């Protein structure tokens, strides 16, 4: 499932990051690495960007970029 497919308050673990080298490197540099747990905090009023909580900080991410992150929800 894509990161942008989570609902508010849901937590998931990053499995893989798709995209070109520049996008992938930028997302990895922001701490969005495989095996990291992320929680979707909220959507902006028009749905873009989304706010994530990970590694003890908040991160706003465009929905387009969130579409390139594959996550899995815990069982």
Give the CATH number of the domain where residue 43 resides.
2.30.30.90
Q: Residue 73 class from Cβ within 10 Å (0-12 exposed, 13-18 middle, 19+ buried)?
A: exposed
Rounded to the nearest 5°, which phi and psi values hold at 30? -85, 0
Residue 50 is part of which domain span? 3-72
Our count of domains for the chain comes to: 1
User: How does pLDDT run across 20-61, given as a tens digit for each residue?
Assistant: 899 999 999 999 999 999 999 999 998 889 999 999 999 999
Pairwise CA distance, residues 18 & 35, whole Å: 15
49: tokens are 């960007």
Q: What confidence score (pLDDT) does residue 48 get?
A: 87
């Amino acid at each position: 499932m894509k990161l942008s497919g989570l609902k508010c308050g849901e937590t998931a673990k990053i499995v893989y990051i798709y995209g070109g080298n520049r996008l992938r490197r930028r997302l990895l540099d922001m701490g969005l690495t495989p095996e990291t747990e992320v929680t979707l905090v909220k959507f902006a009023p028009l749905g873009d960007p989304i706010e994530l909580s990970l590694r003890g900080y908040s991160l706003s991410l465009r929905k387009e970029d969130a579409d390139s992150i594959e996550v899995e929800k815990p069982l």
